Amino acid sequence: MVSILIKINNLCHIYNPDKKNQIKALDNISLEIKRGDFVSIIGANGSGKSTLARHLNCLLLPTSGDIWVNGMNTKDQDKVWEIRQEVGMVFQNPDNQIIATTVEDDIAFGLENIGVNEEVMKERVEWALQVVEMEEYKKSEPHLLSGGQKQRVAIAGVIAMHSSYLVLDEPTAMLDPRGRKEVMNTIKKLNREENITIIYITHLMEEATESNRVVVLDKGKIALMGRPEKVFTQVETLKKLKLDVPQITELAIRLNEKGLDISPHTLKVEEMVDYLCLYI
Amino acid sequence: MFIYLEDVNFTYNLSMPFETKALKDISLEINEGEFIGLIGHTGCGKTTLIQHFNGLLIPTSGKVYVEGLDINERGVNLRLIRQKVGLVFQYPENQLFEETIFQEIAFGPKKLGLSEDKIEKRVREALKMVDLDYNLYAERSPFSLSGGEMRRVALASILSIRPKMLVLDEPTANLDPQGSNKILSEIKAIHDNFGITVVLVSHNMEKVAELVGRLLVMHRGEIILDGPPREIFGKYADDLIKVGLGFPPVTRCMHELKAKGKEIYTGVLTVEDAEKEILVRVKRFNKQLKT
């Protein structure tokens, strides 16, 4: 039986092995990401987030340990292209990822490479544009789009390949609040409606609260893992790991300490408002 | 008045097919010692505006004065203006180029023609301002540093020319929470301790709101709001949403409570303020219940 998940087993990665500047970027990571999951990965700069992400589609190979994507080992040379089709990657700067002169050409680029016939290609491009809500920009030139729109085009290019996993490495770092919201909404929709598994790297705790599971990395190790409301209540540990606590959670914890019957696991503004309506 | 802009307009690609009006009739005064936050949607003209502060861009029409000097005037010493107004671009670590951190930071003072002794003094002073130990860092390569440290070195290389005003374009982009808190607290210390005027461009509403004394909100080439952050976040919520800007989550929380008919002060920016405000309201509510 082929298991439909990403399985990471005792993954270690060492940059520049056996040299003076040897760095152990990942240290014995084991993790399972099931189909349909929405996992966010947080951690200070240099904690190994991007190194981990790059292992998921064979951009990097483990120094030791294994990764299986739907049962395929990433070390298996013959499976590289199949794995890369399964696991799509979106980077921080959409300008590095967009190459064609119109939006639809850009989305079709990956499909052309794998020799999809024209009819199917058109269908998939239409579908991908619809999912990221960019249909009306089909003929636009990518460089005239806003940051959020560009990032959505980059996402469309990946999902057109029918990838079941989408890895996003700080996709909103360069965007303004509106662009961030656009991209976040697109990702949530992909996860809920298209059942695409999301692996989301971010520095923004507010974004991480949207996921089902948070993995906190520290010096290449998993320091914390669990549902966001569990992870974000561990204020002391998070601060020790150089991370922030979402504002709303911090407020809930403080109010709880002052004797209000508010759950310290509150993450979202709406929950907070509902609670407070009982007291004010 | 340190900087004064009078009816400034700026158009990119003037009389070309791609002509874009980036700034429209901007009039603005910035006083010495102010700490200003500049926010706005991407493409609203923030970066174009700050490039006028030190003459990197010259207005298509209108006037810009820096300490009374008209940057548009013939023969005006732009070098002198750029010494007064230090601009820290986005991703300033990309402009690092020297072999050691000392040389990197000494570059500006050297160009000013200062003596060796004075240069060293400036480098020490600038490193101290960004909280990097001279003995540990001076001889290292700037490329061996972490992202946050590189950014602080880039900042130090501008501080070493002793500008009177510091303009920073998104200094926290791509840094982790600790790195961004660190650089922001250094910027605040630079403002508080050395009286340097600071303009901070940022998308990070939470942090900006806490730090600055005055907030400018830009939209489509115009300054649409100008005032203390509490007032702007408290009173002009609708305008901010209209131009695509967000609020800090606690501020959003207050606005939603108000929308539900609750009596609450909406100009709350930090967790501490929100806690105080909520506790006051809860107490009042309990009293009402008793009577």
Q: Give how far the C-alpha of residue A272 lies from the chain's centroid of Cα atoms, to the nearest Å.
A: 26
Mean pLDDT of A227-235: 91
- Residues of chain B neighbouring A246 (CB-CB closer than 8 A): 249
3 state DSSP class of B147: helix
**Domain coverage including residue A36:** 5-245
pLDDT of res. B90: 85
Please tell me if residue A27 touches chain B, with a CB cutoff of 8 Å. Answer: no
Indicate yes or no: CB of A272 within 8 angstroms of CB of B253. yes
User: Is the pLDDT score of A280 beyond 90?
Assistant: no
Tell me whether A223 touches chain B (CB under 8 Å): no
Tokens at residue B62, please?
Answer: 């209108």
**Tens digit of pLDDT at every position of chain B (291 positions):** 899 999 999 999 888 887 889 999 999 999 999 999 999 887 789 999 999 999 999 999 999 999 999 998 888 888 889 999 999 988 898 889 999 999 999 999 999 999 999 999 999 999 999 999 999 999 999 988 888 889 999 999 999 999 999 999 999 887 888 888 889 999 999 999 999 999 999 888 778 888 999 999 999 999 999 999 989 988 888 888 888 787 888 988 999 999 999 899 988 888 999 999 999 998 888 888 887
Rounded to whole angstroms, the Cα distance separating B258 from B254 reads 6
For residues A4 and A12, give the distance between their C-alpha atoms in angstroms, rounded to a whole number: 23
Q: Tell me what pLDDT residue A2 has.
A: 59
Interface of A with B in 181-200 (CB under 8 A): 181
A258 in contact with chain B, both atoms CB, cutoff 8 A:
yes
Its ipTM equals: 0.72
Residues A260 and A243: their CA atoms lie apart, in Å, by 26
pLDDT for B240 equals 87
| Unique residue bearing structure tokens 């959505």 | A152
A23 at B interface, C-beta within 8 A: no
| pLDDT at site B245 | 82
Q: Indicate whether A138 belongs to any domain.
A: yes
Token match 């174009």: residue?
B48
B203/A173 touch (CB, cutoff 8 Å), yes or no: no
A179 to A41, A173, B247: CA distances (angstroms):
20, 10, 14
Q: Measure Cα distances from B196 to A125, B82, B163, B190, B289 in Å.
A: 53, 14, 8, 7, 52
Partner B contacted by A144 (CB < 8 A): no
Domain contains A269: no
Total count of domains within chain A: 1
Cα–Cα nearest to A26, from A6, A40, A41, A36: A41
Residue in B closest to A279 by C-alpha: B282
Chosen for mutation from B18, B149, B178 (greatest number of chain A CBs closer than 10 Å) is B178
For the entire predicted model, the pTM comes to 0.79
Q: Answer yes or no: is A257 within a domain.
A: no
Confidence of residue A8 (pLDDT cuts 50, 70, 90): very high
Residue type, A146: S
Of A177, A178, A277, the CB nearest to B262: A277
CB contact under 8 A, B148 and A248: no
Q: Is A54 helix (H, G, I), strand (E, B) or coil?
A: helix
Vertex B56: Cα angle to B53 and B60 (nearest 5)? 85
Give the burial class of B242: count Cβ atoms within 10 A of its Cβ; 0-12 exposed, 13-18 middle, 19 or more buried.
exposed
DSSP structure string for B100-140: SHHHHHHHHHHHTT--HHHHHHHHHHHHHHTT--HHHHTTS
Other C-beta atoms closer than 10 Å to the C-beta of B167 total 25
Residue A100 lies inside a defined structural domain of this protein = yes
Letter string b/e over residues B115-148, b meaning 16 or more CB atoms within 10 A of that residue's CB: eeeebbebbbbbbebbebebeebbebebeebeeb
State which residue of chain B sits closest to A242, comparing Cα positions: B178
Average pLDDT, chain A: 91
Paired tokens of A106: 């850009």
Task: Give me B223's structure tokens.
Answer: 């300054």
Q: CA of B285 to nearest chain A CA: how many angstroms apart?
A: 6
Rounded-to-integer distance, Cα A32 and Cα A61, Å: 17
For range A114-125, the mean pLDDT: 92
Confidence of residue A49 (pLDDT cuts 50, 70, 90): very high
User: Helices (DSSP H) in A8-114: which residue ranges?
Assistant: 49-55, 80-86, 103-113
CA-based nearest distance B113→chain A, Å: 38
pLDDT per residue as tens digits for the range A158-216:
999 999 999 999 998 878 888 888 899 999 999 999 999 999 999 888 899 999 999 99
Do residue A178 and residue B41 have CB atoms under 8 angstroms apart? yes
Answer yes or no: is pLDDT of A1 > 70. no
Q: Can you read off the two tokens belonging to residue B9? A: 């307009």
Amino acid residing at B53: F
Q: Is A46 within 8 Å of chain B by CB?
A: yes
* Maximum pairwise Cα distance, chain A: 64
Can you say how many angstroms the Cα of residue A260 is from the centroid of all Cα atoms in its chain? Answer: 35
In a domain, A14, yes or no: yes
Query: Does residue A274 sit within a domain?
Result: no
Q: How many whole angstroms separate alpha carbon A182 and alpha carbon A267?
A: 20
Residue of B nearest to A251 (CA): B271
B203 and A176 within 8 Å at the Cβ level: the answer is: yes
Distance (Å) from the alpha carbon of A148 to chain B's nearest alpha carbon? 10
**Angstroms from A173 CA to nearest CA on chain B:** 6
Cα separation, A150 vs A143, in Å, equals: 8
In chain A, which residue's Cα lies nearest the Cα of B269? A247
Q: What is the CATH number of the domain that holds A224?
A: 3.40.50.300
Ordered by where they begin, the domains of chain B are: 1-76+165-173+201-239 (3.40.50.300), 248-291 (no CATH)
